[in-house]
Amino acid sequence: MKDLFINDSSTIYLNSGTESKTIKSTLEEIYSNNKNYEINPTYYFVDAYQKLWHTQKEIAHFFNDNPKNYFLRTNVTEVFNQFILGYDLNDNDEILTTNLEYQAIVNVLKYKTMQSKATLREFDFPTRDSISTDEILTLIKKEIGPKTKMLVISHVFTGSGLVAPICQIAEITNSKGIILVVDGAHSCGALKVDFENFKNVDFFAGNFHKWMMGPKGTAFGRVHPKHHEKLKPLMAGWTTFETDSPFDTFGEGHRFATKMMPLGTQNFNQYLGIKSTINFWKAHGENSIRKKLNELTQFAYDIIIENTKLKSLFPKEKSLQGPLITFVLPMRSENEGYNLMKRIFLENKLQIASTKIKGVWHLRVSPHIYNDQEEIVHASKILAKI
Ligand SMILES: Cc1ncc(COP(=O)(O)O)c(C=O)c1O
């Protein structure tokens, strides 16, 4: 697997949770498309509309879904802006969220409360490794109040790495008429994402530049058809109203898909590269890629605990385990905060993440299929030394 990615023998990359390496064949596809673009930029750009739609169809097919429910953006932060700021809430409607969400997403929610009379409430979500699915569902039922209109929750929490039981949570919100917005930044690739199973999720944001190992700067929003009318595009352009040629080659007449597409003159080649990423997943098999990822994650967990004696937040319950392993830092490292990650890299050529959970810095490790056991053992010794 290693030679399917770009490596340098001295660097150990164990932070796929921030960004994964992009598959080499996907990089090559983008590079070759960029070269073709330069031969006749006008023709290439106009022609790219239908290629982009074709890519959107491939994406939807991969997630067992309909392409008209999707829109493409550069990253999950942009997708969330579209979801939250583009959806009108009534005065005093409450947005409920946990205190473990990614700060950029929390800021989008706060921004919403500045632009409307909606309110925001965060509830405490445990980080104990002994937490169970039942406990999570009971907690969510308890926290939903009479004013709650929207629940925003991560599928995989960036800090603790816990995988939230989204299908069961969606059943609860659906039965209470609450809009469920899922931050799936860490889902696609690491977990099976199938919208036949997620049919009660209202809004889902996912990306390709983390666990899918796709092009950098590619993400999608998935919107349940019942919200297509109500979601207002944040920006207007050629496709906002009924569209003419050449823009009508995107979307096959689906108004939602066309009004939400990326606007104006831009290079679509990052998005077009997603097709090659999906082909990689099909060729190697989703299940076998995930099996290797899970084995490496478990291996990293075991060996780092053994060599460092650090305590981890990695959940004990199997169904709550994801691709991220977070460790509690000793006090002196904790005080170093974000700089710890930089120092570890500069001194040891080992890339891990510093991550803040409830105001306290932790250390996060996240291997992917381009890693091997030997480098993980080496990384665990570096961490032990530090
Ligand atoms: C849980 C979570 N949500 C959202 C994001 C933001 O993703 P992006 O940088 O693609 O906008 C991240 C990024 O790490 C994340 O971990």
- Please write the tens of the pLDDT for every residue from 151-205: 999 999 999 999 999 999 999 999 999 999 999 999 999 999 999 999 999 999 9
What per-residue confidence (pLDDT) applies to 152? 99
Query: Of 281, 301, 317, which one is at a domain's C-terminal end?
Result: 281
CATH of the domain at 342: 3.90.1150.10
Cβ pair 180, 201 in contact under 8 A: yes
- The model's pTM: 0.98
Q: Residue range 297-309: average pLDDT? A: 98
* Domain residue limits at 372: 2-16+285-385
Please indicate, yes or no, whether residues 210 and 355 belong to a single structural domain of this protein: no
CA distance 219 to 206: 6
Ligand 1 neighbour 100 (Cβ under 6 A) = no
- Helix and strand numbers (H, E) in the chain are 13, 12
Name the one residue in this structure whose structure tokens are 């509309």.
Answer: 49
Mean pLDDT of the chain: 97
In a domain, 271, yes or no: yes
Please indicate, yes or no, whether residues 270 and 290 belong to a single structural domain of this protein: no
Ligand 1 neighbour 207 (Cβ under 6 A) = yes
Please indicate, yes or no, whether residues 266 and 375 belong to a single structural domain of this protein: no
Which of the four pLDDT bands, split at 50, 70 and 90, describes residue 123? very high
- Ligand 1 centroid from CA 307, angstroms: 30
Please indicate, yes or no, whether residues 155 and 295 belong to a single structural domain of this protein: no
Domain count within the chain: 2
- Does residue 286 surpass a pLDDT of 90? yes
pLDDT in tens, 5-21: 999 989 999 999 999 99
What per-residue confidence (pLDDT) applies to 245? 85
In a domain, 21, yes or no: no
Buried b (16+ CB within 10 A) or exposed e, 372-382: eeebbeebbeb
Q: Residue range 271-297: average pLDDT? A: 98
Ligand 1 neighbour 105 (Cβ under 6 A) = yes
Please indicate, yes or no, whether residues 135 and 251 belong to a single structural domain of this protein: yes
- Ligand 1 centroid from CA 243, angstroms: 33
CA distance 21 to 242: 39
pLDDT in tens, 311-326: 999 999 999 999 999 9
Query: Of 281, 296, 330, which one is at a domain's C-terminal end?
Result: 281
Ligand 1 neighbour 369 (Cβ under 6 A) = no
Query: Of 224, 252, 281, which one is at a domain's C-terminal end?
Result: 281
- Does residue 332 surpass a pLDDT of 80? no
What per-residue confidence (pLDDT) applies to 210? 98
